[in-house]
Structure 1
């Protein structure tokens, strides 16, 4: 009513809890690429298997398990990439030395 203090009015608050889902990258595309093209010592296939396990854990809701499998898949993918890179560099080096040896001799 008139003359009532506005600070004495009841205060209503609404609280909205928004759960932020931690995105877990399962690296499945990178693992599939490594399986098809860079499958050094089956590291690409093992990375693909861990990526699938990570995706399964994510679907179940086990974020910690999904992150663990995804981390393992990432490490295996990096190892496969590095080993194939080293092998390619060694093969190029041997080819260059072979070509230089043929032209010099």
Structure 2
């Protein structure tokens, strides 16, 4: 349904000329571009995990090494070198995993050793 006073002839389509109106020269076409910046999640530096590994479970100084790599990852992130930050963060994560696993294994071996030692004392008087 057309609004009152609307006529299809009153609004020329693109490329059509109305009768009786002289042709106007073509104006320069303006092209507008839209730039979309897609930001991915910044790389993780695992600094809290590295601090815990350094303070609480630090076998073979792996917690210290993880902490150093975490600081390097944070420095690279501040310098906008995301690939370098990703590399250092991955190294810190691997060192943290290794440190945590060694600590858990050491605790489990200690608990098992204590249980076996106490168990032998009770059996043999």
Q: Same fold (TM over 0.5)?
A: yes
| Equivalence for 1:39 | 58
RMSD: 2.1
Larger Rg: 2
In 2, the alpha carbon distance for the partners of 1:46 and 1:88 equals 21
Larger helix percent: 1
Match of residue 99 from structure 1: 118
Structure-1-length-normalised TM-score: 0.88
Query: For structure 1, which runs of at least 5 residues remain unmatched after alignment?
Result: none
Could you tell me how far apart the structure 2 residues matched to 1:49 and 1:2 are? 74
Q: Which residue of 2 aligns with 1:4?
A: 12
SS in 2 for 1:45: helix
Structure 2 spans left out of the alignment, 5+ residues:
1-8, 16-28
Asked if 1:18 is matched to 2:26, the reply is no
* Higher relative contact order (Cα pairs below 8 Å, separated by 6+ residues): 1
The count of aligned residue pairs is: 103
Q: Give the ranges of 4+ consecutive aligned residues of structure 1 lying more than 3 Å apart after TM superposition.
A: 9-14
Q: Distance in 1 between matches of 2:101 and 2:87?
A: 21
Q: How far apart are the structure 2 equivalents of 1:3 and 1:18? A: 39
